[in-house]
Structure 1
Amino acid sequence: MLLLFLTGVSQATSLSVLYDNTTQRLKRVYDVNPEKLQNNADAINHWLQGPASLQLIALPSQEQGGTDEFEVGVFLPFRSLAARELDNQQLALTEAFDIARDKRFSLMTSGLVREALWRRLVARAQVDGLQAKQVWIESLDTLILQLQKTGELDQAAFLRWQQEKLTQQLALRKAHISLERAQLHYRRVMGTDELPEQTTEALSDRLDEKLQAHPELKLLLISQSQLDLNLTQSDQSLSPWTLGLIARQLRGPTGSENLVGVSINIPLSDGTPVSNYASWKEAHNTLNHALAETYTTLQLQLSEALQEVDYLSEALLVLEQQVNLGEEITALYQKQKDALPKTFWLEQLIAQQDLKLDFAMYKVRYAEAISKVNQVAGVTL
């Protein structure tokens, strides 16, 4: 099964195409449908609130010469203007919630894509760097053996070289295992082995503004608005009004009389029940706490991610200087190797290779850190 995942041929494609494909795939895998919710929007757009009712009344007189009364009424419950306005607010909140939910799903997918991509790229860079070092070790190994045979390389330096070869062997093996796992994870997330042509992202500007529009914060704000709307809708005066169309017939000894009229039933109340307000207050405080905690957490994560970018940027400059200085030191040691202990010369060669590997890895980590900043700020791919 593992071979099935890893035998695909890597091809070049765009990151946006991979993102779109992964989004559709995750919708199927996790049965997520971020399409617009259909909350019976048509129903609350009607004036009527509930079905009409029919009332039949027959009141025959029990006295001789009395009047019999018959009545037919149709009663229609309908929403008041205030309730209709709340319906419009509910529709707007539902739409805003759908948009924020879609953005949260997109951001979640972006996070999965970024994590899988950079896990694979970092592992690949580690393997490439160690393989380059392995080539260097193999090219130098013959010279080391010759120097050891001629007695120009002391036993301590030779043993140090053997130790370095074993360390390199384990490091390369571990790097290959990490790469295999990263490729498998990438395949499971992306559904393909393809890598994008362009993997790096530009650091987004106006990060504070983007953080303010983060989907998690938006959803909490919408929940607050929904909570406030629910409290307003609990006002009993918003109960449906009832319009009645009434036809009445009076039958007496002197003849019949037909009456037609209307009635309006308007609910009266003293506002929102106290119990509803208490529940609203508790839920409102909970949402306020969640909003403050989420915003603080996001700010902290963004600050840490930016600090990591700044550190890696500075580290790259320092490592580049170290690599350049290492080249000069190595050249000087090469000229003076006959006068210097071979251990110094060998240690410098090994240290220089390690610096080159660190420099290459820091380049990849720097690009990964920029991607993380964008993810924390709520920027989708």
Structure 2
Amino acid sequence: KSPLAIGNRIEIAQRQNNLFHARSIFKKTINMMIIVYIFHGIVCLLQIYSAYYIYKNKKDKFNNIDLYNNLIIINIFISLLMGISSLHINIALYLLINLLTTYIITMFIMDRAINPIGLFSTLTYIIIIFGIFFKPEILYNSYIGFNNLFYGFRYYGLNNGIMGVLLVSSIISYFFIRELIPNRFVDKVVCFCYFMMNIVVLSANYGANTGGFLTAIVLFLIMVYLYILDKSFNISGIFTLIFIGFLIFATNMYFDYFSNEKSHAINFLIRIKTLGLSEFVNMFKIKIEELIKLTIVPPFGIAIVSQIYSLKRLSEMKNISFKMETNIILAIGIIAFILNDTGVIAFIYIIHYLISLWFQQGELHPPRS
């Protein structure tokens, strides 16, 4: 197996009872599916809960919403950390340890002078990067990184949920760490490394998520323009950045084409070359239909409407001071949504982090109806 191979490791293992071993694998997969549905459901319900109390102007509920938002963000990290184990063989035990650990950590950290979203975004980003390079099973054994083999959406690489978490946690983590960096040159180096890392881990050799890879390129160019070049480029400079983005994409496709284990993206381009433009049209229709279906069908459709409403109302409140960060996260959420057939999932998690940031900032005053 190539050291750059993607997906779960495939090993030949001898067992005295092969049927029992197969049943164990089947049970783990089914249990992980159930856990995924439970936690995705909780996240979607929280978006509805938040929108409802924002609509009702229930300021006394804002502290509760802030607490629940932090619970979700910390829980994503805990889920990834638990991916080291096989605790999901027992759903009840998994949920008990997961939820209890999340609750204890959240209650411990909420009363202290700590930025929980910045801290746990950084920890989440670190463990995702570690998992991609050294132990992908950590990601696949978590509800945010699980690939549903039975549905056949994705058999390898990063799904769109963890892709969204990766990108938004990198943004928040960078701004969190940036406050601790006194040297401007070091800040620019850190910025470059952070957002180039996203491109690498989502490339064909690692995360193999083409939509996420393109989104990461856009994010990289935005951050280079704003925080490395300090907006000093003119129109021709912006076109230069776009050309650089194209070169990054083309380089990824080039190495993917000549690799032993080609991703679905390069195989798609090969099919277009063989079958003609009709292959592109057919695939475009399939992707659009899938995106529309997941966007309008509950629970994701209701969650998105709730988030859009929450964003609109919260944007009318005073003291939202980090407008640049907000615009970057919002732009990346929209791009990830458009470029992926299941981009709705990436969008929901990205916007959840954004809404959580707004609540954490405090001093939110409900606008008058």
Question: Normalising by structure 1, what TM-score?
Answer: 0.26
More strand by share: 1
Report 1 or 2 for greater relative contact order, CA contacts < 8 Å, sequence distance ≥ 6.
1
Q: Which has the larger radius of gyration?
A: 1
More helix by share: 2
Question: Normalising by structure 2, what TM-score?
Answer: 0.27
